[in-house]
Structure 1
Amino acid sequence: MTSGQTSEGLPLSKRLKATTQSTHERLDTKIMAARPCADLANYARFLQVQFILHRDVYVLYELPDVSRRLQGLDAFSRFRDVKQDLVDLDVEVPSDLPANNKQWTMSFAEALGWLYVIEGSKLGAAVLSKAAVKLGLCDTFGARHLAPAPEGPARHWRRFTDKLDAADLDAAQFREASTGAQAAFARASDLADSILPKSKSCQGV
């Protein structure tokens, strides 16, 4: 097995995409049905979801194994940008939604699964960034965390997946990474259910 590939011969990013595709699609449908950029009230709720999710995972970018094996990844975190967006819009974070403290004991492989989901969300963020402009928001006010990377979202994603695929995971570790990715999607889905406006099109999702 070559570095960055699983026992089935595909890069880790491709394997994670295949195993999480349906879960990912359901989450995307749920979020877009809530119309996060329809008005500032909806956007504020979306921002609360983003803050809690990024609060959960920011420490993963600085885990010793992640920092050592995926050098430079700590610069990819958007947690500080999300916090500043909250300040810009004077949005309060719900106090009854505790942090997901499991990240403190997460294995390297499981952390990669979570990071795959968080970094992948930047592709959708680029679309929402354009919609946020209609609300008077921009890359320096209220929508910092949605701003595309300087090199563009597609190239940034390739930079991340290159780092991800360079991790040498065996079959058992891939299962941990897949578990991490599914858990990240589930956490995001639970937060969306708790915070975002309810929509009939979300029923049964």
Structure 2
Amino acid sequence: MSEDQPLSAVSPVLHELRAGTHTRHVALEKRLPFFSNTLDLEGYTRLLSAYYGFYHELEERLQHSPWMTHGFDLQARLKTPALRRDLQALGVSIQSLALCETLPALHSPACVLGVLYVLEGATLGGNVLRKQMSQRLGLEGHNGCAFLYVYGEATGRQWKAFLEFLGSVPLDAQARDQAVQAASSTFSCFEHWLERQEVLL
């Protein structure tokens, strides 16, 4: 997550989200195989397939959630289309992929914000991962690496815009706690899903 903001610019909910998810976030990052010497094209394809099974189902729920916060353009930020393009470029039959059933609960606007925090924050390291996959596997945006750099050069601007939106939503202490629990649950559900798909280190 972005750490380059002055303390005065960090909203209470962002501060609590960072603190409340740090342990799970770091633990999951250590298990992702993007920088593993053993990751080959087959392993990368399996990893993206597992990502698709999670993102597709979670974004579907977000799109149909009655708690989606007004003013957030979810359609412009969906990651599933990029995953679909990558997998098709890699020769994967989308219809055959397993889909995740255990997802974070979306029972309030605060829960939705917590989930979005994780999904948007996950884009921040995309350029580093894209370069790694380009060097090691010869992948670029057109042949299997669109998802990792989904916002391209607009990544920083998109994150800043999301943080501004996050800080603009009035949340009391109870709602902030719901957001943190939903974000933590998102990390947990994602890790458990990737573990079941046997793609983690």
* TM-score of Structure 1 vs Structure 2, range by shorter chain: 0.7 to 0.9
Q: Structure 1 residues 183-192 or 147-156, which shifts more?
A: 147-156
1:174 to 173, 176, 180: 176
Report if aligned partners of 2:118, 2:187 keep a CA contact under 8 Å in 1: yes
**Corresponding residue for residue 148 of structure 2:** 146
Matches within 5 A, 1:78-117: 78-92=79-93, 97-100=99-102, 106-117=107-118
- Alpha-carbon distance change, 195 to 165 in structure 1, aligned in 2, over 3 angstroms: same
Q: TM-score, normalised by structure 1?
A: 0.79
Mark the runs of 5 or more structure 2 residues left unpaired by the alignment: 1-9
Q: TM-score, normalised by structure 2?
A: 0.81
Cα distance, 1:34 vs structure 2: 7.3
Q: Which runs of 4+ in 1 moved over 4 A?
A: 92-97
In the TM superposition, what whole-angstrom CA distance separates every residue of 1:27-69 from its partner, at most 9, and x where no partner exists? 0001147739831012112102210221122131564543523
Report if aligned partners of 1:117, 1:185 keep a CA contact under 8 Å in 2: yes
2:163 to 161, 164, 169: 161
Report if aligned partners of 2:57, 2:99 keep a CA contact under 8 Å in 1: no
- Alpha-carbon distance change, 126 to 106 in structure 1, aligned in 2, over 3 angstroms: farther
Cα distance, 1:75 vs structure 2: 0.5
SS of match in other structure, 2:68: helix
Distance 2:46 2:18 in 1: 27
Report if aligned partners of 1:67, 1:74 keep a CA contact under 8 Å in 2: no
CA RMSD of aligned residues (A): 2.6
Report if aligned partners of 1:36, 1:43 keep a CA contact under 8 Å in 2: no
Q: What is the aligned residue count?
A: 189
Mark the runs of 5 or more structure 1 residues left unpaired by the alignment: 1-8, 200-205
Matches within 5 A, 1:4-83: 10-32=11-33, 35=36, 38-59=39-60, 60-61=62-63, 63-66=65-68, 68-70=70-72, 72-83=73-84
- Alpha-carbon distance change, 181 to 82 in structure 1, aligned in 2, over 3 angstroms: same
**Taking every aligned residue pair, what percent have the same amino acid on both sides?**
26
Distance 2:53 2:148 in 1: 15
Read off the aligned partner of 1:23 and give its amino acid letter: R
